A = this chain, B = another copy of it.
Amino acid sequence: LSEFDDIARLFRPLSFGAPEALGLMDDAAQIPSRPGFDLVVTKDALVEGVHFLSTDPPALVGKKLIRVNLSDLAAKGARPYGCFLAVAFPAAWDAAMREAFAEGLGEDLRRFGLALFGGDTVFTPGPFTASLTALGWVEAGRMVLRSGARPGDILMVSGGIGDGALGLKAALGEIDSPYLLGRYQAPEPRLDLAEVIKAQASASADVSDGLVADAGHIAEASGIGLELDLDAVPLSSEAQAWLDRQPDREAAMVGLATGGDDYQIVCTAPEGRAAALQAAGFTAIGRAVEGAGVGVRHRGRRLEIARGGWVHG
């Protein structure tokens, strides 16, 4: 068995005949320019035992790899186009597991409308490790940056925040919730929001490091401060039920707002544009101000949160 068998059998079909991919039979892909459009490119990696659990089904690992990257494209207002996969399989991942991984990958490529353009398949003595380079298109100059927030802008987020952190607890067996488990194993990239973000948002980022940390990235890139009201942060009914069971609600709410892996979108917009984002499902959670950093409030009190909470690898 060699990398070529896997490439031919598992991955070649996932190019869906896209001319860019050259049947995955070349050294490189050939991507024609598309005048009037910019290519939006992101690259995120997953390591077994760090970004997913060894017990997670390989098909869901394939889906998660696609989705964490598409989440970035959604935040930028881009439409998915194609991707490049580098995957290092451990010896313990037998043919059936590699095939399941490719099947999960393929299902999501089809569902989200992108093709595999190329990459590299290798074997590793260590844990499963993979990176995806995802490409999207956006009209020239229209990518929504982290740096566009201005004082007075409304801070908004899509929900529900904290499902990623609680999903990890579900995956570890600490919470019994198929819904939350699914949010951790196969988060839903908010591509449904990409168009309205492009049309209305002044700055945008996906929530992968935690709401407070990712709002902090917008604040830093934009050179502004953000006031964030934890009471307004939208929660799923499962997260709300979990929160209601916690003895220290404030610490628990901080945990949800600093947990990672939500793959929701945090964005800002001038006051006159906020309504369109709210109509699309965003919730106002604060405001951009002169200054720096993220000021977090809960029940009217200002909280101190050390450097944006949990920073995931």
Contacts and interface: CB of A to CB of B under 8 A. Distances in A.
A262 to B, nearest CB: 14
Contacts of A313: 3, 122-123
A75 B311 CA distance: 40
Interface residues of A, number: 65
Q: In the complex this chain forms, how many copies of it are found?
A: 2
Interface string A141-175: 00101110000000000000000000000000000
Nearest to A123: B313
Contacts of A86: 43-45, 86, 131
A199 interface: no
Contacts of A78: 28
Interface stretch (A34-42, A180-188, A230-238, A243-251): A34-42
A282 interface: no
Contact of A129 (B72, B129, B147): B129
Contacts of A123: 47, 50, 313
A11 interface: no
A24 to B, nearest CB: 10
Interface string A63-100: 00000000011011010000011101000000000000
A187 to B, nearest CB: 15
A193 to B, nearest CB: 14
A125 B51 CA distance: 12
B88 A47 contact: yes
Contacts of A131: 45, 86, 120, 131
A27 interface: yes
A33 interface: yes
A120 B28 contact: no
B127 A124 contact: yes
Interface string A110-142: 000000011110111111010101001000100
A25 interface: yes
A22 interface: yes
A223 to B, nearest CB: 11
A278 interface: no
Contact of A125 (B3, B40, B127): B127
A108 interface: no
Contacts of A127: 124-126
A280 interface: no
A226 interface: no
A53 interface: no
A25 to B, nearest CB: 5
Contacts of A45: 86, 88, 120, 122, 131
A195 interface: no
Nearest to A133: B133
A287 interface: no
A221 interface: yes
A4 interface: yes
A206 interface: yes
A39 B47 contact: no
17 contacts: A3-B313, A25-B217, A26-B76, A26-B145, A27-B42, A27-B205, A31-B40, A31-B41, A41-B133, A43-B118, A44-B120, A45-B120, A47-B125, A47-B129, A86-B86, A125-B126, A126-B126
